Amino acid sequence: MAIVLIRQDGKLDLWKNAFLGQYPDLPVFHYKEPHPTEEVTMAIVWKHPEGSLAHYPNLQCIASFGAGVDFIIEDNTRPKNVTITRVIDPALAADMSEYVLGTILMYLKNLDTYRQDQANKSWRPKAYTRIADHTIGIMGAGTLGITLANSLLPLGFNVVGWSREAKEVGNFKIFHGQEGKTNFLRQSTILVCLLPLTDATKEILDKETLSQLPKGAYLINVARGGHLAEQQLIPLIDSGHLSGACLDVFQQEPMKQDHPFWDHPKIKITPHVASVSDPASVVPQLVENYYRLEKKMPLVNTVDPSRGY
């Protein structure tokens, strides 16, 4: 039995060393070095090259390095009937909450606008809003969404959530399904997308959805670029229906140089860094599943490929 690591972002050695640092005897290889393909039972992947999973005839688990598995589900060349797992990690959830909280506070107090004004030596006081003025609508009340809600509620934010199925967590209202979507959107002055990317959620942030937000609402997309119908965003901002957007994820990453989002004054961009898997905290749960495979035990953090998450 062995583990292969597959990712194309230059971090193969960093991750391999993180595994070996914590588990020195682990049979872990990265896909660019010679390795015993027939022995590989677990592939840990992040945006792997298409076709790369077909090299492993005895694969039993395809694990995402992150929380999302959309790029695994979308790969039609992956061996079917192999269990897919994802990361569920308190540090990843806490990092996401910090990013979103920082973005919201910056928006409320116009802090990013003042950075631009300073660069232009321009003295332009603007009206600000307060925490109590806003309802944060969290689209996707899952691991990250609920952690976010729990960090916003003690600060005095109104929070509502939206999920696929009915669920109660006690401290904030969660709408669900198509029937709950309109009521959810109507009250969300700041919409945070934390959905998984699936057939049902692709381009869900389109004109129809975003038009149901209150006038002047703000969009934060930290889930996947595929959630946003990108061409429909700028007209909604320019018409004043949305006051702006902060986007961490894009249809194409890195974003092309001529993409109109780069230059739009009301769109803030970060390069898919809202919350990044930390080897120190994620390696143990990945290795746990490797040992579970060895002992023929059920895996943890599995996803349902028919749901897509």
Residue positions annotated with a catalytic role: 224, 272
Is position 275 an interface residue for ligand NDP (rule: CB under 6 A)? yes
User: Residue from 28, 67, 104, 220 that binds ligand NDP (CB under 6 A)?
Assistant: 67
Give the shortest CB-276-to-ligand OXD separation in angstroms: 6
Residue 261: both structure tokens together: 């989002």
Sorted by sequence, the CB contacts under 8 Å of residue 106 that are 6+ apart come out as: 112
Which residues is 32 bridged to in the sheet?
none
Amino acid identity of residue 229, one-letter, is: A
Give the shortest CB-288-to-ligand OXD separation in angstroms: 18
Is position 286 an interface residue for ligand NDP (rule: CB under 6 A)? no
- Between the alpha carbon of residue 93 and those of residues 80, 239, 245, the distances in Å are 29, 34, 21
Count, residues near ligand OXD per rule CB under 6 A? 6
Residue carrying the six token digits 């429909």: 232
Give the shortest CB-116-to-ligand NDP separation in angstroms: 24
User: Residue from 202, 264, 272, 292 that binds ligand NDP (CB under 6 A)?
Assistant: 272
Which of ligand NDP, ligand OXD, none does residue 135 bind to, with CB < 5 to 8 Å depending on kind?
Answer: none
Which residues is 43 bridged to in the sheet?
4, 62
Q: What is residue 83's DSSP assignment?
A: E
User: Residue from 224, 245, 286, 289 that binds ligand NDP (CB under 6 A)?
Assistant: 224
Which of ligand OXD, ligand NDP, none does residue 309 bind to, with CB < 5 to 8 Å depending on kind?
Answer: ligand NDP
Phi and psi of 153, rounded to 5°? -60, -45
Is position 67 an interface residue for ligand OXD (rule: CB under 6 A)? yes
Contact present, 136 and 104 (Cβ < 8 Å): yes
Residues shown for the chain: 309
3-state SS assignment for residue 63: strand
Q: Which residue is nearest to ligand OXD (CB)?
A: 66
Element housing 70 (H / E): helix 70-73
Q: What span, in angstroms and rounded, lies between the C-alpha atoms of 269 and 299? A: 36
Contact present, 61 and 79 (Cβ < 8 Å): no
Geometric angle at alpha carbon 306, from 249 and 297, rounded to 5°: 100
Candidates 44-52, 57-65, 66-74, 230-238 — which segment interacts with ligand NDP by CB under 6 A?
66-74
Q: Which is nearer to ligand OXD, 37 or 302 (CB)?
A: 302
Is position 167 an interface residue for ligand NDP (rule: CB under 6 A)? yes
Q: What span, in angstroms and rounded, lies between the C-alpha atoms of 136 and 159? A: 5
Candidates 28-36, 47-55, 195-203, 206-214 — which segment interacts with ligand NDP by CB under 6 A?
195-203
Give the shortest CB-177-to-ligand OXD separation in angstroms: 24
Q: Which is nearer to ligand OXD, 131 or 269 (CB)?
A: 269
Query: Which residues are at the interface with ligand OXD (CB under 6 A)?
Result: 66-68, 275-277
Query: Which residues are at the interface with ligand NDP (CB under 6 A)?
Result: 66-68, 92, 96, 140-145, 162-165, 167, 194-198, 200-201, 222-224, 248-249, 272, 274-275, 309
